[in-house]
Structure 1
Amino acid sequence: MIALTTLNRRARFAALLAAALSLSTPIWSQQASDQAPALALRAFGTLGLARSSSAHAQFARDLSQPYGVSDQWSGKIDSVLGVQANYRLHDKVEAVAQAVSRYGAEDNFKPEVSWAFLKYEPDARLSLRGGRIGTDLFMGADSRLIGYSYLPVRPSPDFFFTLMLSYFDGMDVQVTQPMGEGVVRAKLYAGHAREKIPVLNDILDFSGSPLVGGFIDYQQGAWMWRASYGQLRSSSELPGMGALLSGLNQYNAALRLPSAQAAADDLAMKDKFIHYYSLGMLYDEGPLQIHAMVNRIHKDFASAKSTESGMFLLGYRIGSVTPFAGYSWINAQDKFVDTGLGRVIGPNAVDAGIQLFIDASHVQQNTVTLGLRWDFQRNMALKIQGDMVRGAPSSVFPYRGVDAAFDGHTSVLSIALDFIL
């Protein structure tokens, strides 16, 4: 659903509990009577330009993008075009479909179906959906492609770039219940991932990977809190890892070295879990908006590092203009795999390759964000933003095309026009 910051001042239940505008105001609709089916069509998009200060690493919006921007202006990382159709089959049943064109894993803007589900709401407290559904692993994750729905040009890359999934095929159930002076909402979901990400000049395909999770949030007045958890079991192996695993197995067979076999088992990603833990808070009252989140992504395999990250965003609306400032950070947990080969045969290519593989997922950086959002027309916003990223030279995971001269520092200037139609 689309969370629109400029519409949060409407009914607090609809805006903050749902945190969404369900694209219910159509650009074209057909309805013969109050009981007849109705079709509503909407479009949304972002026209974005960005450049960084570094010629030694390309800044990408998230892990789905094979290339990013460096010291030349580019419109590819933030530009998005989407359409959504809502068709009401019954007063309690609705069909929703959404298609989005954005720069993705295959180095193009090939459109993909991001939502395609049936929703059944027998009453205001229960909702069931089945089909292709947006992921709710973090607060705001299911609407992060709709630029109009948030203050900055893009959701914090430090916080969101490791979130590899935008949708899944499956079902969810949501229960809403008044509690005290507020409202509590709980959701459970289950299904299978269908997306791909570029890894080491190859493609990691998560298609068929089981995904389960849920969240619980509580909204009272201007405040909302959320705790969420999700887990993905990978159905694929990391590209490039097969040769290393084969090498370890061969050494184990030749040298009868159990530590080599144990290392291979530890490094393998296939059939292992990625766990997503997140806490979030939103305050939205009058001209003031505050958003804070922390997360931990734990990987049950040793070939990629687990991470912890957090973000804070503050905005204050003055008429049609909203200045905003933010701070975010992300750190990876070091991993070391002991194959035992070094003690038997000395330095070797397998150990070196394993360490290079693990180090490719290292990240240790923080970002200061300053920007301005101007809602110059209904359903349209112009944004300008600067991000000052300060990290270690070894913090290469968020970037593409990193060379040896990269010092971990870059500054990114972005301009974007967001709209819904």
Structure 2
Amino acid sequence: MKTINPLFFALSFFVSANSLAIDLGHGFTIKGFGTFGLVNSSNGSADFVANSIQPAGAGWTNDTSLVVDSKLGLQLDYQATDRLSFVAQGLSKQQYNKSFAPVLEWGYAKFKILPELHIRAGRIRPALYMLSDYLDVNYANPWVRPPVEFYSSAALDRMEGVDFLWRPSTGDISWLVQPYFGITHLKTPGVGNSFKADNILGINLTGTYSDLTLRVGFGQGDLTLFSPSLSQALSGLSRICNTGLDPTACEQYNAFGITRKNSMFSSFGANWDNGDYFVLGEFGKRISKTKIVSDATVWYISGGARIKKFTPYITYSSYHNDSPATYNGDSNNAFNLGLGATVNQISTALLQGANDMDQNTITLGMRYDFMSKFALKAQWDHIQTSTKDGLAGTGGGLFANQQPGFGNGPTQVDLFSVTLDFAF
């Protein structure tokens, strides 16, 4: 027996202004979605968080947390003419400062140039992932949350910009060609911390044939990081550079630059879903021109079966830091061995302190669609972090608020999560 495919639900939820929405009259419709979630961590020395924007999670702050997955969103659509429409989406979820104050996640105008070609301008989400457009609509996804190893690797929730949606067909294949460009400035946890991305430019190419969807994507931008703690650390390299006694200090200062440094993310995804069974996976590579943001290889694969109202699933996900974790290139300073040692020490501290380290997760879960547009999910995650080249202190993975001793070696953490997802 075939059941509803949440992927198709998500596509119809966002593509059509009238389907699965409440008609307010005069061209206005409203949609909503939300998640109420609990997650418990077996380790109290660091916080499990869903992405790098969250300042607190399950573990050190509270062993059981409501803030990791809980969110509530409302989307208002206005069909002004046959060609012109407007969308505003407000979203309440944990922000960089622990607040749940609603933010305007989307706010754009959409114009139909041709029957198969639309343009959107305003606040939109760059299409970096296969699930980008409905990443916050947990009801549309099989899991409690998308795999964090993959979906935290390029934290661009929104941008001010433009994208084009071209949906041609060739025979039985339906295509989506989606180029985009824009800018963004997002705040991150910590006093005075934020990042700005200029010259965001990318493209998403998706093809669907029968039950199979394939996607390739590329996105890049020039990053500027604002962080008092990073600036203070970099000032040590700057002072040594300014003495004129150590050219390597100048090289390292530039290598750790935090102003307008290019970062690129390329990805490939595949989804096979016949309504009864699904297999979904994505693979991505991040390449950065600053050592403050490490190069990384990320991927996941997930599969499940829909048995009446139940969907058991399994996922394996991986984050691998492709950059070095130490720097010893200034060991033979002919002018001052002390300066060389200091440059090595500062550089190594920046490599290890500013970057996420290797982490893998195996996930087992169950989804129960107990009534229309409501889903109850339970999930177990077994997270394994590993040290970089066996170095102590590099086993922290993607965890936040790491306390002394956490990450000294490989670490194993178990998570137990329950969520209630809904959409209307």
TM-score above 0.5, yes or no: yes
Offset at residue 42 of structure 1 (A): 1.4
Partner of 2:373: 379
Partner of 1:340: 330
Unaligned ranges ≥5, structure 2: 388-393
Match of 2:350 among 357, 363, 385: 357
Partner of 1:326: 315
Give the residue type in structure 2 aligned to 1:351: N
Runs ≥4 residues deviating over 4 A: 14-23, 336-339, 347-350
Q: Deviations over 1:296-331 (max 9, x none)?
A: 111111123211111011010000111111111111
Aligned residues of 1:82 and 1:101 also touching (Cα < 8 A): yes
| Cα gap change, 1:72 to 1:295, in 2 (>3 Å) | same
Aligned residues of 2:194 and 2:227 also touching (Cα < 8 A): no
Partner of 2:391: none
Match of 1:210 among 187, 190, 199: 199
Aligned residues of 1:26 and 1:41 also touching (Cα < 8 A): no
2:86 & 2:374 partners in 1: Cα distance?
A: 27
SS of equivalent residue, structure 1 residue 399: coil
Match of 1:113 among 70, 80, 104: 104
| Superposition CA RMSD, Å | 2.3
Partner of 2:225: 236
1:385 & 1:103 partners in 2: Cα distance?
A: 21
Partner of 1:313: 302
Partner of 1:413: 416
1:401 & 1:15 partners in 2: Cα distance?
A: 37
Aligned residues of 1:9 and 1:285 also touching (Cα < 8 A): no
The share of aligned pairs that are identical, in percent, is: 24
Give the residue type in structure 1 aligned to 2:400: R
- 2:154 aligned with 1:163, yes or no? yes
Unaligned ranges ≥5, structure 1: 32-36
TM-score, length-normalised on structure 1?
Answer: 0.90
Aligned residues of 1:268 and 1:303 also touching (Cα < 8 A): yes
Within-5 A mapping of 1:27-176: 28-31=22-25, 37-70=26-59, 72-176=63-167
The number of residues matched between the two structures is: 407
1:225 & 1:161 partners in 2: Cα distance?
A: 21
Moved more, 99-108 or 19-28: 19-28
1:63 & 1:15 partners in 2: Cα distance?
A: 28
TM-score, length-normalised on structure 2?
Answer: 0.90
Give the residue type in structure 2 aligned to 1:386: W
| Cα gap change, 1:194 to 1:22, in 2 (>3 Å) | farther
1:277 & 1:235 partners in 2: Cα distance?
A: 20
Aligned residues of 2:237 and 2:346 also touching (Cα < 8 A): no
Partner of 1:34: none
Moved more, 307-316 or 327-336: 327-336
Offset at residue 103 of structure 1 (A): 0.6
Q: Deviations over 1:342-377 (max 9, x none)?
A: 633336445323312211214212111000001111
Aligned residues of 1:174 and 1:186 also touching (Cα < 8 A): yes
1:175 & 1:110 partners in 2: Cα distance?
A: 35
Offset at residue 92 of structure 1 (A): 1.3
| Cα gap change, 1:147 to 1:16, in 2 (>3 Å) | closer
1:103 & 1:69 partners in 2: Cα distance?
A: 13
Partner of 1:287: 276
Aligned residues of 1:26 and 1:40 also touching (Cα < 8 A): no
Partner of 1:8: 5
